[in-house]
Amino acid sequence: MKQKKDIWLIVVNVFAASKKAGELWRRAESMLKYKGISYECRYTGDSGNACRIAQDASREGYRKFVAVGGDGTVHDVLNGIMAFVDSPEHTVRLEDFYLSVLPMGSGNDWVKSLGIPKDVKGIVELMADGSFGKQDVVKVSILDEAGDTKSVSYMANVGGVGIDADVCRIVNVNKKMGMKGKILYVKALIQCLMNRVPVVARVVCDGVEVFNGKYFSIAFGVGQYSGGGMRQTAGAVMDDGYLDMTLIPELGALKIAKEAPKLFTGSFTKIKELIVCRSKSIVVIPEGGHPHVEVDGEVIGTAPVCLEIMGPQINVLKL
């Protein structure tokens, strides 16, 4: 009998893809059986949220996880794993864990950042072939005014402060109303740009202040894609041990309208007015107001916030 560490724990988010992920998963299940991949399955609707499922399964001895859903499901499964790994009562290594995905959400940006196929057949074949590599994980700490940690989350792909987070809030509300598709991100971005209000913040990268002034949005990433295909951190590398940042300072409306299409072409970070940085840690300290912070498309709190590349890496599906 196989040990649990050799069995894939499938976490199915039945609410993903406008509640169609459960149906799509049943189609994928036959492919896993055909390839002889050993697995067990748990559903978010029956067993609690994906984060809790992953944490409990890690405690039971599972080390291989598949998130069935979108980027939010990947985020939750990763955070469940990290909740177990970071627990002081256990001595386990992040390097012992494997994370894959059957992309059935609205954005599926993590898959794009990894450069792996979006179709279920291609992913199952990679799993069967043992095609895995390392990926960085980012610790994201929401701070209080004194700089002490209020809450912690972990990032697999891209996050942001300001307009970036506001776009995610709008998109997530629309998803709950049954809307779907990449156009949700574009419409939300246009809405946020039209109603933009620059705010002031200090940004510190590896202990050096790189910005102090008015900004519209700040994006951070170990991956390149977010928001249904936008490339705010187009130079990011998933396993290089660094966190990429792109900060959009206060710009005129015409300038924003002219440059916005570059978000989808990979040339956005070449705009001269932007602040582009690559570092191990980033701290955003707002001056007046508390802008929202999003991680992997999920709003987790408000700034000030500290992001740090963790030393250990997790195993993820790669070509």
> pTM of this prediction?
0.90
Task: Flag whether pLDDT at 90 surpasses 80.
Answer: no
According to CATH, where is 3.40.50.10330 located in the chain? 4-130
Fold entry, domain 138-311: Tumour Suppressor Smad4 (2.60.200)
pLDDT of 191 reads 72
pLDDT of 178 reads 62
pLDDT of 1 reads 46
According to CATH, where is 2.60.200.40 located in the chain? 138-311
Check residues 47 and 173 and name the one with the higher pLDDT: 173
The per-residue pLDDT for range 225-272, each reduced to its tens digit, is 987 788 999 999 999 999 999 998 988 767 877 887 888 888 888 888
Residue 56 binned pLDDT confidence (cut-offs 50, 70, 90): very high
Under 8 Å between Cβ of 152 and 140: yes
* % of the chain beyond a pLDDT of 90: 56
Into which CATH architecture does domain 4-130 fall?
3-Layer(aba) Sandwich (3.40)
309 forms beta bridges with 138
User: Tokens 């390839």 identify what position?
Assistant: 35
On the 0-12 / 13-18 / 19+ scale of CB atoms within 10 A, 137 is: buried
- CB atoms closer than 10 angstroms to residue 174: 17
The per-residue pLDDT for range 57-89, each reduced to its tens digit, is 999 999 999 999 889 899 999 999 999 998 887
Task: Flag whether pLDDT at 207 surpasses 70.
Answer: yes
Residue 216 binned pLDDT confidence (cut-offs 50, 70, 90): confident
Check residues 72 and 284 and name the one with the higher pLDDT: 284
| Mean pLDDT in residue range 132-146 | 96
